[in-house]
Amino acid sequence: MNFVWSEFGVLDHCILNKDGYLKIYNDKGEVRKMSPKYKDLFEAVCKKANNFKGQNVSIRTSQNTNSWLTSDWFSDVTLSKSNKIDNTSSNKKTNEIKKLKNKLSTTMNAASQLEEENKKLTERLIKASNKAEDFQAKYSLSEQRKAFIQKEYEMLSQIEKDDIDEQSSALIKMDIVGRDLDIQLKGHPVKLLALRQGIKHENRGRIKITVKKHCDRNYYVVLLPDYGNIEVKMALGYKNNILYVATLEPNHPKFRAVLEETLGISEAILKQSADTYSLDEFVKIHEKIQSKLVNIPI
């Protein structure tokens, strides 16, 4: 998908106008508007824009369906690279950097704990599959440590955010809420369906869903008609004209915490070893965790 970035100057405010358009204004009185067809994104975009008040910003203008003028339209806003950082902003950034360094330091100091978890994981893998030796080499303690650190940075990736925004816009344009769909389900999400929902799905890479409602960005609440219409929160993806399941969430907010408490390893580490577990083994893990969640209120 195509779009262009342009400078907009110092942001003054952002409002939802009575005419249905989301509008942003700079300190010169200039205005850019966002089409009502993206109204599901209005709240998030406006909240982000108002956090940038008094600062130089850049705006993004979509070029997917037409050569939309950057002097009239916008689809996203971010801080400008030329933005002058005042002392308050500088102090805030310094504090954020310190917090990040503290997180990284905590991760590094947890090496001994990760080592113990790695030993427990290795023991489980040996019992689960003869591929345990290959996994142990691939997912060493060093690799686990880097994965934790890398995750902190990936959360700040602008490219990743742009990709999600583009797919979210495409899904909104498709107007899939209320529709029955047959979409792609391959690879990692198949294992997540077994682990987080207890469903062993073996249907050659496809699954039927009924889209109930849109949650946020590319997340939707869907029903699975082939499994008693259970409700699942899924992140959908759309690339190369293919609609697919990107990931899905467990139904109970404390699922991950109870899993780690029960197995002695985090869900993140368990997912790294997904190839060494069968769907049946993941379903059994789900049932074990679910039995402990029954008496825990959501």
pLDDT above 60 for 151: no
Closest among 122, 125, 165, 156 to 140, alpha carbons compared: 122
For the chain, give the mean pLDDT.
Answer: 84
Note the pLDDT of residue 257: 92
What burial letters (b/e) apply to 196-227, b meaning 16+ CB within 10 Å? Answer: bbbbebeeeeebbbbbbebeebbbbbbbbeee
Is 170 a domain residue?
A: no
Query: Which of 79, 104, 119 finishes a domain?
Result: 79
The whole-number average pLDDT for the span 136-156 is: 43
Shared domain for 214 and 126, answered yes or no, is no
Note the pLDDT of residue 133: 45
Spacing of C-alpha 54 from chain mean position: 29
Note the pLDDT of residue 163: 80
Q: What CATH number is attached to the domain comprising 17?
A: 2.40.50
What is the extent of the structural domain holding 23? Answer: 3-79
Closest among 23, 1, 24, 21 to 11, alpha carbons compared: 24
> Confidence class of residue 152 from pLDDT cuts 50, 70 and 90?
very low
The whole-number average pLDDT for the span 88-96 is: 69
pLDDT digits (tens, 9 = 90+) for 167-203: 889 999 999 999 999 999 998 899 999 999 999 998 7
Shared domain for 75 and 91, answered yes or no, is no
Closest among 72, 2, 75 to 38, alpha carbons compared: 75
pTM equals 0.48
Name the domain count of the chain. Answer: 3
Shared domain for 13 and 53, answered yes or no, is yes
Q: Who contacts 285 (Cβ-Cβ below 8 Å, separation ≥6)?
A: 195, 259, 263, 270, 277
Residue 285's CB is within 10 A of a number of other CB atoms, namely: 20
Shared domain for 180 and 112, answered yes or no, is no
pLDDT above 70 for 139: no
Shared domain for 148 and 247, answered yes or no, is no
Note the pLDDT of residue 146: 41
3-state DSSP call for residue 182? strand
> Confidence class of residue 204 from pLDDT cuts 50, 70 and 90?
confident
Shared domain for 195 and 238, answered yes or no, is yes
pLDDT above 60 for 5: yes
Is 168 a domain residue?
A: no
Shared domain for 134 and 191, answered yes or no, is no
Is 169 a domain residue?
A: no
Sheet of strand 3-16: strand arrangement: 31-34, 22-26, 3-16, 56-62, 76-79
Containing 22, the helix (H) or strand (E) segment is: strand 22-26
In order of 50, 100, 138, 294, the CA distances from 223 in angstroms are: 36, 39, 37, 21
> Confidence class of residue 155 from pLDDT cuts 50, 70 and 90?
low
Shared domain for 102 and 10, answered yes or no, is no
Note the pLDDT of residue 159: 82
Does 152 or 172 have the greater pLDDT score?
Answer: 172
pLDDT digits (tens, 9 = 90+) for 94-129: 787 788 778 777 877 776 787 787 778 777 766 765
Note the pLDDT of residue 63: 79
pLDDT above 70 for 32: yes
Does 65 or 218 have the greater pLDDT score?
Answer: 218
Residue 12's CB is within 10 A of a number of other CB atoms, namely: 15
Containing 138, the helix (H) or strand (E) segment is: helix 132-138
CA-CA distance, 35 to 20, in Å (whole number)? 8
Is 161 a domain residue?
A: no
Please give the share of the chain, as a percent, with pLDDT higher than 90.
53
Closest among 154, 10, 163, 12 to 80, alpha carbons compared: 10
Query: Which of 24, 48, 79 finishes a domain?
Result: 79
CA-CA distance, 196 to 247, in Å (whole number)? 11
Query: Which of 79, 112, 141 finishes a domain?
Result: 79
Shared domain for 92 and 66, answered yes or no, is no
Shared domain for 72 and 45, answered yes or no, is yes
Note the pLDDT of residue 246: 93
Is 162 a domain residue?
A: no
